[in-house]
């Protein structure tokens, strides 16, 4: 479906649009079709984005950074970030107090703030927003995942017992809803005071609250567009139906943020944001958007995005690292690490540490298609894991696959994340001689040799050529060692690729992953605990690492927590369960892709926790 224009915007409930507001929105809508004229306006910014948002409901943040890019400009949180700084500061709150060893948090709220539908921001709105995230319980929504957690006893009191998606809940009955509410996870003390009661101490609570997962929605706006469920077995509170997505809120919004959602065309994923005329100004009262309109155009074709940014049709364009040398001087970057644009009028700020890493995983329990264990289990032998890690020339990969926009890392965290420790030691390096020695020795026990060769397969995603390059390098290097392993590379469709490693049908696969927060908890769990996503799909389990994870999870002492994270990192590294290929570095303020700017865009600063730009900071010369 490719309509000629975006869907008609809808005014918030209870608000009748003025002629001025109507005309402003109409102008913004028309600008989607006339980006050159819009880009020329000093109060309008146009962005060609590679992948637009799917939803704009904070509960449904899923894993799409483009969703968050809209959410962080329309909604606000109790705590957020002061420009490029990484420490959360009071935002909608004036302050907080941690009690009971970090199991209870009391926030004092600002007065006089209104939602975009005119409703008052208060403690009831905070409670509604977090109860909504728990009760909607969407299995793909990170907003539901955050307050529930993924292991007993969960995070918010009562959320683990309620959740069918992440916890041990059995149904979405009224009794289940009432039981969650009775647990008192979020309590209104008075209109300016709200209390959070956690099921266990959680060291990353404030960091997570600073993400889109802590977004506060207008209860009156949600309730005005909500319908009471017709199913008598379905529990609810006004505005929230247990276990059921809110179709209206998937594509409409009312927050307290500096921008309002004027247009969201779900068919094209195009977005128009308008400056919020009643915005309260942020903690210092001085944050007033200079950009009155922000037009976000989903432009799938990279060549089109390049043409648009070079011609000045747009102010910002997503440009993947594979095409960055169409914009900057290749030799100066690769040889001097100096970014120098080759097109007049273009700015490429960076490089910056990003929250994305590249890695390879080795499956310790390879399965047959029927689910039974395969007879040949090479990666249960640490010598095999070290050998495969040792044939990877990660320096070559960072330069020739990622065009230099990646940096070496000792473990699966980036320098932008809490707990990153450059002193952690890897148990391998690029060393073909050592790899041959390890494979010769392992072959004697595993039954392969030059006289008795064994075939192995490395899979890659055919839609990700960078994976094919790495897989081919590994196969070529091992085949040349003449140790009795014959490696073949299979480029699979995305669906086949995912099914193969998720079902543990393959021994070796190559991946990337990103985080929506600078706190490492998610990655520590995924890589270092038996129940974690990546560890689960490779059958990696080190109980000592799991115990350290739980200890750091509950620690509210940053120094102690950092120490525990380092200890856990070293244990996992010593096991050689993963091969760390590098951490991505960025230019611009990335969503899925990094981006470049026209030189007239001013006020930019980088914060790795942002997903896309925070528009109130920007202006145009």
Which pLDDT value is given to residue 592? 78
Residue with tokens 């490779």: 538
Q: Picking from 67-71, 126-130, 207-211, 541-545, which range would have the lowest pLDDT averaged per residue?
A: 67-71
Dihedral angle, C-alpha 302, 33, 8, 51, nearest 10 °: 10
pLDDT at 14 over 80: no
Q: Do the beta carbons of residue 289 and residue 259 sit within 8 Å?
A: yes
What residue ranges define each of the domains in the chain, with the CATH number in brackets? 1-50+258-350+587-621 (3.40.190.10), 55-254 (3.90.76.10), 354-586 (3.10.105.10)
CA 162 to CA 394: how far, in whole Å? 45
Q: What is the largest CA-CA distance in the chain?
A: 84
Split at pLDDT 50, 70, 90, the class of 516 is confident
Q: What is the mean pLDDT of residues 576-592?
A: 92
| Omega within 30 of 0 (cis) for the link into 153 | yes
In whole angstroms, what is the distance from residue 119 CA to residue 285 CA? 20
In the prediction, which pLDDT does 66 show? 67
Q: How far apart are CA 199 and CA 449, in angstroms?
A: 54
Which contiguous run of DSSP H or E holds residue 105? Answer: strand 104-109
Q: What is the pLDDT of residue 68?
A: 84
Pairing of strands 352-362, 346-347: unpaired
Q: Is it the case that residue 2 has pLDDT exceeding 50? A: no
pLDDT for the residue 37: 64
pTM score of the predicted model = 0.87
Report how far residue 476's alpha carbon sits from residue 463's, in angstroms, rounded to the nearest whole number.
21
Quickly state the pLDDT bin for 15 (edges 50, 70, 90). very low
Render pLDDT for 314-330 as a digit per residue (tens, 0 to 9). Answer: 999 999 998 999 999 99
Q: Is the pLDDT of residue 228 over 90?
A: yes
**Which pLDDT does position 132 carry in this prediction?**
97
Spatial separation of the C-alpha atoms in residues 452 and 26, rounded to whole Å: 73
Identify the residue with better confidence: 528 or 149. Answer: 528
Q: What are phi and psi of 145, to 5 degrees?
A: -65, -40
If DSSP codes are grouped into helix, strand and coil, which group holds residue 537? coil
Q: Alpha helix (H) ranges present in 94-141?
A: 123-136
pLDDT score recorded for residue 62 = 59
- β-pairing verdict for 352-362 and 508-514: antiparallel
pLDDT digits (tens, 9 = 90+) for 22-41: 444 454 455 555 556 666 68
Mean pLDDT of 57-81: 85
Could you tell me if 567 and 423 are in contact, meaning their C-beta atoms sit under 8 angstroms apart?
A: no
Q: What is the mean pLDDT of residues 95-114?
A: 96
For the chain, percent of residues with pLDDT exceeding 70 = 93
Quick one: what percent of the chain has pLDDT higher than 90?
83
Q: What is the mean pLDDT of the chain?
A: 91
Q: What value does the mean pLDDT take over residues 241-248?
A: 96
pLDDT of 144 reads 83
pLDDT mean over 513-519: 87
């Amino acid at each position: 479906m490719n309509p000629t224009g975006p869907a008609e915007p809808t005014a918030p409930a209870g608000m009748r649009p003025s002629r001025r507001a109507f005309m402003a929105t109409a102008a913004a809508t028309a600008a989607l079709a006339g980006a050159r004229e819009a880009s020329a306006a000093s109060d309008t910014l146009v962005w060609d984005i590679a992948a637009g948002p799917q939803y704009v409901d904070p509960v449904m943040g899923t894993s799409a950074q483009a969703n968050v890019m809209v959410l962080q400009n329309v909604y606000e949180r109790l705590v957020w970030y002061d420009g490029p700084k990484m420490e959360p500061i009071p935002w909608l709150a004036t302050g907080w107090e941690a009690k009971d060893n970090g199991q209870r948090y009391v926030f004092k709220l600002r007065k006089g703030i209104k939602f975009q539908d005119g409703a008052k921001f208060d403690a009831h709105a905070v409670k509604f927003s977090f109860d909504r995230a728990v009760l909607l319980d969407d299995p793909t929504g990170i907003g539901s995942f955050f307050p529930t957690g993924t292991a007993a006893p969960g995070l918010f009191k009562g959320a683990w017992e309620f959740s069918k998606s992440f916890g041990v809940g059995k149904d979405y009955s009224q009794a289940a809803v009432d039981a969650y509410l009775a647990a008192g996870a979020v309590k209104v003390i008075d209109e300016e005071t709200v209390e959070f009661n956690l099921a266990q101490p959680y060291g990353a609570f404030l960091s997570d609250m600073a993400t889109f997962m802590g977004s506060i929605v207008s209860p009156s706006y949600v309730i005005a567009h909500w319908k009471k469920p017709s199913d008598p077995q379905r529990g609810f509170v006004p505005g929230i139906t247990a276990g059921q997505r809110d179709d209206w809120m998937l594509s409409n919004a009312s927050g307290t943020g500096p921008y309002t959602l004027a247009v969201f065309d779900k068919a094209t994923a195009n977005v128009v944001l308008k400056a919020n005329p009643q915005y309260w100004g942020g903690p210092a009262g001085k944050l007033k958007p200079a950009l009155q309109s922000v037009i976000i155009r989903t432009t799938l074709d990279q060549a089109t995005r390049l043409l648009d940014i070079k011609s000045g049709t747009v102010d910002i364009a997503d440009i993947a690292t594979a095409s960055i040398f169409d914009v900057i001087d290749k030799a100066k970057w690769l040889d001097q690490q100096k970014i120098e644009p080759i097109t007049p009028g273009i700015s490429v700020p960076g490089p910056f540490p990003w929250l994305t890493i590249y890695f390879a995983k080795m499956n310790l329990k390879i399965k047959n298609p029927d689910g039974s264990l395969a007879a040949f289990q090479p990666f249960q032998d640490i010598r095999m894991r070290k050998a495969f890690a040792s044939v990877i020339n990660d320096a070559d990969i960072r330069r020739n696959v990622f065009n230099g926009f990646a940096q070496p890392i000792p473990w699966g965290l980036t320098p932008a994340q809490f707990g990153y420790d450059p002193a952690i030691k890897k148990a391998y390096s690029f060393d073909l001689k050592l790899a041959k020695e390890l494979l010769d020795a392992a072959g004697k026990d595993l039954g392969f040799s030059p006289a008795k060769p064994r075939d192995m397969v490395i899979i890659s995603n055919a839609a990700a050529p960078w994976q094919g390059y790495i897989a081919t390098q590994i196969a070529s290097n091992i085949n040349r060692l003449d140790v009795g392993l014959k490696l073949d590379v299979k480029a699979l469709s995305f669906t086949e690729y995912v099914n193969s490693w998720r079902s543990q049908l393959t021994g070796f696969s190559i991946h990337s992953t990103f985080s929506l927060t600078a706190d490492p908890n998610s990655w520590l769990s995924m890589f270092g605990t038996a129940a974690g996503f990546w560890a689960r799909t490779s059958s990696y389990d080190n109980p000592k690492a799991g115990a350290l994870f739980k200890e750091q999870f509950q620690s509210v002492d940053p120094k102690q927590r950092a120490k525990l994270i380092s200890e856990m990192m070293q244990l996992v590294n010593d096991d050689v369960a993963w091969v760390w290929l590098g951490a991505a570095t960025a230019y611009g303020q990335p969503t899925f892709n990094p981006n470049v700017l026209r030189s007239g865009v001013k006020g930019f600063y980088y914060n790795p926790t942002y997903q896309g730009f925070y528009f109130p900071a920007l202006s145009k010369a």
